[in-house]
Amino acid sequence: MPRADSASERIVYLTGGVGGSRFLSGLVRRVSPNQLCIVVNTADDRDFFGLHVSPDLDTVVYRLSGVVSGEGWGVQGDTFFCLEQISKLGEEAWFRLGDKDLAMHILRAKLLRQGLPLRSVTERLAKRFGIPWRILPMSDDPVETWIRTKEHGWVHFQEYLVKYLSVPSVLDVRYRGIRAARATQEVLEELERASLVIIGPSNPITSIGPILALRGVKPLLRALNKPVVAVSPLIGGRPVKGPLDKLFLSVGLEPGSLAVASRYRAFLRGIVIDQADRSDAEALAKNGLQVLVADTLMRTQEDADLLAGATLSFARGLSALPNCSSKTA
């Protein structure tokens, strides 16, 4: 697929989760590696069996290297003999770590123990997978998303999502470690020189929220006199996958396009919503946003290509509009 190369254009893509990586698979077919920087949520990270697991970083790496499974996470065709043996030895094995997947976590843990920061480890791993795109973890510092549930109290997001299958009632969400954490200098520099910023169809609370909560990120986005565009992860007010509707309700928001926009209100310029949410377009526009209505469900690679292409054209078009500063939604 032809790419619209531009020596001066610099796109920063904020992402986390399966939906964000699916959109990314279309985005990288529309732009060149020197145009794009991918900033990835790391607040889903957790240690398992002494290994540092970075689910969102791994999903991006597996997606861009073409080895991601059909579920959108993990390695295609993986086996689980190690995990089965761990379970037989009496340990909890609810987090599905495949045998090939374990190789990534073993190597990451080794490099981190050698004193390398997560950003350097990520760069090395991406190169070993033959990925030319720049992938940046949001921070080298530990941040963890925790969910307070009615049934189990405070649990790590991975426990809520995987162990408890998003069933428990959500009472609150916290980013542990966020006050001490900093966005990497590389992330801040990329945002400063961005021509446009695209926020993927990721969970605004658990995937994008931690990135935005890092010191310095929101002020940079507010000061950026360039388009910031978000792709809504909701279709008909419901998430394609995951507990976003429950999470929105836990923070007092009715799930829908307006709730998505409200999470980014300080800096958002435009939003892409699904055809099923077309009725929200007028209210979004009244709040100062440009709106693109499109088919956002990505069943196939062609769907991802078309959505990414439409979003890029939309965002680039906003560059030509006057007053490209922050709007309130």
Calculate mean pLDDT across residues 76-94: 95
Cα separation, 25 vs 273, whole angstroms: 19
Three-point CA angle 3, 217, 174, nearest 5°? 115
Between the CA of residue 108 and those of 47, 74, 99, 295, what are the distances in Å?
11, 15, 15, 37
pLDDT at 319 over 90: no
Strands 144-149 vs 170-176: parallel, antiparallel or unpaired: antiparallel
Q: How would you write the chain as a 3-class SS string?
A: CCCCCCCCCCEEEEECHHHHHHHHHHHCCCCCHHHEEEEECCCCCEEECCEEECHHHHHHHHHHHCCECCCCCCECCCCCHHHHHHHHCCCCCCCCCCHHHHHHHHHHHHHHHCCCCHHHHHHHHHHHCCCCCEEEECECCCCEEEEEECCCEEEEHHHHHHHCCCCCCEEEEEEECCCCCEECHHHHHHHHCCCEEEECCCCCCCCCHHHHHCECHHHHHHHCCCCEEEECCEECCEECCCCHHHHHHHCCCCCCHHHHHHHCCCCCCEEEEEHHHHHHHHHHHHCCCEEEEECCCCCCHHHHHHHHHHHHHHHHHHHCCCCCCCCCC
pLDDT tier at 126, thresholds 50, 70, 90: very high
Cα separation, 54 vs 231, whole angstroms: 23
Looking at the structure, tell me whether residues 16 and 116 fall in a common domain.
Answer: no
Strands 51-53 vs 238-239: parallel, antiparallel or unpaired: unpaired
Q: What percent of the chain has pLDDT over 90?
A: 91
Structural domain of 71: 44-135
Looking at the structure, tell me whether residues 244 and 125 fall in a common domain.
Answer: no
pTM score of the predicted model:
0.94
CATH number assigned to the domain comprising residue 75? 1.10.8.240
Backbone angles phi, psi at 171, to 5 degrees: -105, -30
Q: Which of 122, 156, 176 is the last residue of a domain?
A: 176
Looking at the structure, tell me whether residues 227 and 290 fall in a common domain.
Answer: yes
Please state the domain count of the chain: 3
Between the CA of residue 301 and those of 27, 32, 146, 221, what are the distances in Å?
11, 18, 33, 30
CATH number assigned to the domain comprising residue 14? 3.40.50.10680
Looking at the structure, tell me whether residues 36 and 83 fall in a common domain.
Answer: no
Q: Which of 78, 111, 135 is the last residue of a domain?
A: 135
pLDDT at 207 over 80: yes
pLDDT value for 329: 33
Looking at the structure, tell me whether residues 196 and 206 fall in a common domain.
Answer: yes
Residues facing residue 252 across a β-bridge = none
Looking at the structure, tell me whether residues 182 and 37 fall in a common domain.
Answer: yes
Higher pLDDT, 7 or 312: 312
Cα separation, 21 vs 18, whole angstroms: 5
Residues facing residue 44 across a β-bridge = none
Q: How many CB atoms lie within 10 A of CB 164?
A: 17
pLDDT value for 137: 98
- Token pair 């904020």 is found at 14
pLDDT at 279 over 60: yes
Backbone angles phi, psi at 169, to 5 degrees: -70, 135
pLDDT at 326 over 60: no
Per-residue pLDDT reduced to its tens digit, 281-296: 999 999 999 999 999 9
pLDDT at 135 over 90: yes
Looking at the structure, tell me whether residues 255 and 306 fall in a common domain.
Answer: yes
pLDDT at 325 over 50: no
pLDDT tier at 322, thresholds 50, 70, 90: low
Looking at the structure, tell me whether residues 81 and 186 fall in a common domain.
Answer: no
pLDDT value for 266: 92
pLDDT tier at 44, thresholds 50, 70, 90: very high
- If you average pLDDT over every residue of the chain, what do you get? 93
Per-residue pLDDT reduced to its tens digit, 227-267: 999 999 999 999 988 899 999 998 899 999 999 999 999 99
Higher pLDDT, 74 or 322: 74
Looking at the structure, tell me whether residues 203 and 293 fall in a common domain.
Answer: yes
Calculate mean pLDDT across residues 167-190: 96
Looking at the structure, tell me whether residues 278 and 303 fall in a common domain.
Answer: yes
pLDDT value for 251: 87
Looking at the structure, tell me whether residues 73 and 22 fall in a common domain.
Answer: no
Looking at the structure, tell me whether residues 53 and 165 fall in a common domain.
Answer: no
Cα separation, 288 vs 282, whole angstroms: 10
